[in-house]
Amino acid sequence: MTPPEFDTYEELTTRIPANELSTLLRVSSSLASTMDLSEILQIAIESAADLLRLGTGAIYTLEEKTLILGATTPPLPPQFPDELRVASLDDHPHIKQAILTMTPVTIFDVHEETITQAERVVIEARHLISILYFPLLLKGEALGVFIVGDTEFPRRFTPTEIDLCYMLSFQASLAIANSRLYQKAQQAITDISQAYDATLAGWSRVLDMRDHVTDEHTHRVADLAVALARNMGIPEADIGHVRRGALMHDIGKMALPDSILQKKESLTEDEWKVMRTHPEKAYDLLSHIEYLAPALDIPYCHHERWDGTGYPRGLKGEEIPLVARLFAVVDTYDAITSNRPYRKGWDGETAIQYIREQAGRQFCPTAVKAFCEMMGK
């Protein structure tokens, strides 16, 4: 069977009856509504069966010479074995012919056709008598194949039905290609994010060592900040920014001289002025990095105080970003409960009591309440 004679997709539409064309438009809208490959494949095979008024079908995607079962109608049971979802293209010569020639292949009556054992398993499982194998075509490439069939009587597929399949093939193939591009883009974003986060984790460890904090302070407060953020209802989409901000909360100290950062004695007033510049140095460092900009509130604002006496900008109350308010609580809690060369850390109960006392002064009362409830659990 050879492809229909048409120059463009638009020309093909002129040969489709109005009612089928309306159905195809609805199918196209459904396919465009999702980037999930499994949903696309299910929509495509159900649409193919409906358009041809058939009760059964399956759709396979092609990965090199391997067929991967994507969807069926009626749907497969959830417990259907994964190993039965994969097949060799060479074991299915009718599918292979459709893919290599990029044209539909039909079997009028399976009882009169030479078929392989692998094909027989599928045919008998679906009780097929007549079968249409149709390649999923896009820009001269076959992305896979859909298979529909009649389970009652031998039948021949009409030219109009073949035209419908060509249009559906184009729509489904375009949706599949878009889904794959989207998945690749998402994977690339994930890979970049993981690389950034690994770099940030390395930076935080270097800073901990330079600041003589050797007990994983930064990673502990990051975990606590994430937990508190979730308890306070911060959207999951923003949790990654909370973690990154926590890991970078003292990143501005990398620009401070060792004579101040590593000084064992009390800092002078002038040295404290330099120390208090580290949030602004964090802002200068990170604000130009687009990926890290959403995480900037914690490094820039975690030394602001609820009563307005903090630094660097003297923000007060709800002028302070929420994530910086909650981080100020966990950062202080971890700092006062950790042992340092010059003092022993407080016990948890004493530290919690101090946090409560500072609600409305140093800390946001809502953040304190949520933190104490979380720690109480």
pLDDT band at 6 (very low <50, low <70, confident <90, very high): very low
Q: Give the residue-averaged pLDDT of 169-184.
A: 90
Name the H helices within the chain. Answer: 9-13, 18-32, 37-51, 93-101, 117-126, 159-210, 217-231, 236-247, 258-261, 269-275, 278-286, 297-301, 322-337, 348-357, 365-376
pLDDT of residue 80: 76
Does the pLDDT of residue 260 top 50, yes or no? Answer: yes
pLDDT band at 301 (very low <50, low <70, confident <90, very high): very high
Residue extent(s) of CATH 1.10.3210.10 domains in the chain = 192-376
pLDDT of residue 242: 95
- What digits encode the pLDDT tens for the residues 221-248? 999 999 999 999 999 999 999 999 999 8
- Which one is predicted more confidently, 27 or 211? 27
- Ranges 125-134, 146-155, 173-182, 190-199: which has the least confidence: 190-199
The backbone torsions φ and ψ at residue 14, rounded to the nearest 5 degrees and listed phi first, read -70, -15
Sheet holding 86-88, edge to edge: 86-88, 66-73, 56-63, 141-150, 130-138, 105-107
Residue extent(s) of CATH 3.30.450.40 domains in the chain = 9-180
The backbone torsions φ and ψ at residue 346, rounded to the nearest 5 degrees and listed phi first, read -75, 155
Does the pLDDT of residue 4 top 50, yes or no? Answer: no
pLDDT of residue 11: 63
pLDDT band at 5 (very low <50, low <70, confident <90, very high): very low
d(CA 370, CA 312): 26
- Which one is predicted more confidently, 359 or 257? 359
Does the pLDDT of residue 8 top 60, yes or no? Answer: no
Q: Give the residue-averaged pLDDT of 351-360.
A: 95
- What digits encode the pLDDT tens for the residues 129-144? 999 999 998 888 899 9
Tokens 């330099």 correspond to 274
Name the average pLDDT for the chain: 87
pLDDT band at 345 (very low <50, low <70, confident <90, very high): confident
d(CA 327, CA 370): 12
Does the pLDDT of residue 24 top 50, yes or no? Answer: yes
Does the pLDDT of residue 46 top 50, yes or no? Answer: yes
pTM of the model: 0.58
Task: Give the orientation angle of helix 236-247 with respect to helix 159-210, to 10 degrees.
Answer: 30
pLDDT of residue 3: 47
DSSP secondary structure letter of residue 252? G
If you classify domain 9-180 with CATH, what class do you get? alpha beta
If you classify domain 192-376 with CATH, what class do you get? mainly alpha
- What digits encode the pLDDT tens for the residues 263-298? 878 889 999 999 999 999 999 988 888 888 899 999
- What digits encode the pLDDT tens for the residues 180-203? 889 988 888 788 878 877 777 777
Residue % of the chain over a pLDDT of 90: 51
For the chain, give the number of residues: 377
